[in-house]
Copies of this chain bind each other. A is one copy, B any other.
Amino acid sequence: MSPRKIGVTEVALRDAHQSLMATRMALEDMVDACADIDKAGFWSVECWGGATYDACIRYLNEDPWVRLRTFRELMPNSKLQMLLRGQNLLGYRHYEDTVVDKFVEKSAENGMDVFRVFDALNDPRNLERAMNAVTKVGKHAQGTICYTISPLHTTEGYVQLAGRLLDMGAQSICLKDMAALLQPQPAYDIVKGIKDTYGDVQINVHCHSTTGVTLVALMKAIEAGADVVDTAISSMSLGPGHNPTESLVEMLKGTDYYTELDPECLLRIRDHFAAVRPKYKQFESATLVDTDIFSSQIPGGMLSNMESQLKQQGAGDKIREVMAEVPKVKAAAGHPPLVTPSSQIVGTQAVFNVLMGEYKVLTGEFADLMLGYYGECMGERDPEVVAAAQAQAKKEPITDRPADHLQPEWDTLVADAAKLEGADGTDEDVLTYAMFPGVAPGFFKTRDEGPKNVGKTEEQLAKEASAASGASNAVTGPITYKVSMGGREHSVVVERA
């Protein structure tokens, strides 16, 4: 067998900072790395998605379309890649088909090349329109399998799902392991199953590193035939993020597989982000490695969400009960993979069940999930809970494609966006409003003020380091203070005795 080249998707510009630092990295902290990323030889550069779009307008006063065009300009030789939530696009609801078409068209026009399309429930009907739209504009449509573990999820099931994605025109298949649940053996079995069944279809594998085992999963996936794997440059890797790009390169040395990444470029990309990462330390979690998910089945982000909901209700001590409730709610809903938005929907309902009794109160989203408005899952839904949802939400269950129930909405969106102060009348602005109607108006208003970097400056970091070093915790001075004492003001100079 002659050595086989393995492609690499670098995720530093999207999922890495989303996972490590709550998606807070500003464009200005990325631009200086782009030339090297462009030259390093990646199969693609992931750089855009729902959370980055959201964070841009919510926290950073950055136009996400400007960010995309900047990447396009700075990385002319790279395939830019985004993560698209199927019929949800980058938002949290289903959009009507013409909005889907428009979003894909504008994204392609602004520079996007590879669209990784997924649905939280793995319902292929929720991917179909987006995939077709991508194919229509001549870009790469990647059909995604969200990996999860349940009594119903089998290798055969995943292989069949890959077949449905290929039938609807997927140019490649992504096996997406957002919770770091993918162990080496199932990684091997699924990739091998897809290759054996459908011939030489391109397979990309995306793993998080939270559980510490997924670089091994990438190795086994590669042995089984995977073509491209996702990694993050080492200085933006590990913990709840991804496996280090450089470790992947070294892992393959001497094997029948190789990458063709330029080591000098990798070194410079690493050094760039090694300097940037400490600025965002306040947003980082302390998680180094966590294998709890294999028993709890609860992704880390979902757990912290539930904890904060409980604390707000003064019921922080109920977390163990809620954790025990999650698998039951998940089973009642037909075993959806737990990923945005299903993770939030299931988690919140589990909290409600514990605080108010089982299914006494349903969230609107959970009722929709039970009634089929998010699509179909692998498993049957519990008919009693479906009945409760029907009663509470006063809605009929559906079995057809959820988006078929939507009315054309593009013209309304255009009209509504036009009324917003600071909106510029472009389709891009209409889409921003469509995705995040609550946040977009505020962003349009302040957009002119330009980007706001929420990372700390070097000066702030130096100050904190000295404060923590303990020598401090006191004035070292001399410092001049204005001091009021007995109603009179004095100018006072203070220094350590």
Q: Is the interface of A mostly helix, strand, loop or mixed?
A: mixed
One of A44-52, A72-80, A246-254, A297-305 at the interface: A246-254
Q: How far is the CB of A412 from chain B (nearest CB, A)?
A: 46
Complex Cα–Cα for A346 and B492 (A): 58
Nearest CB in chain B: distance from A192 CB, A: 13
Counting chain B CB atoms within 10 Å of each CB, which of A213, A470, A490, A494 scores highest?
Answer: A213
Using CB atoms, name the residue of chain B closest to A492.
Answer: B485
Residues facing B in A448-497 (CB within 8 A) are: 463-464, 467-468, 470, 472-477, 479-486, 490-497
- Report chain B residues within 8 Å CB of A249: 291
Judge whether B289 and A247 touch: CB under 8 Å: yes
Contacts of A215 in B (CB 8 A): 212-213, 215-216
Q: Shortest beta-carbon distance, A230 to chain B, in Å?
A: 15
| List of B residues within 8 angstroms of A468 by Cβ | 464, 467-468
Q: How many residues of A contact B (CB 8 A)?
A: 59
**Nearest B residue (CB) for A491:** B497
Instruction: Specify which chain B residues have a CB less than 8 angstroms from the CB of A480 in the assembled complex.
Output: 497
Identical copies in the complex: 2
A190 to chain B, nearest CB (A): 11
Is A255 on the interface with B (CB-CB < 8 A)?
A: yes
Stretch of A131-139, A181-189, A366-374 that contacts chain B? A181-189
> Could you show 25 A-B contacts with beta carbons less than 8 Å apart?
A183-B254, A184-B254, A185-B255, A211-B250, A212-B237, A212-B244, A212-B246, A213-B215, A213-B247, A215-B216, A216-B216, A234-B290, A238-B238, A244-B289, A246-B291, A250-B294, A463-B473, A467-B470, A473-B476, A475-B475, A479-B496, A481-B497, A482-B496, A483-B492, A483-B494
Seen from chain A, the residues whose Cβ lies within 8 Å of a Cβ on chain B are 183-186, 211-213, 215-216, 219-220, 234-235, 237-238, 243-244, 246-247, 249-251, 253-255, 263, 288-291, 294-295, 463-464, 467-468, 470, 472-477, 479-486, 490-497
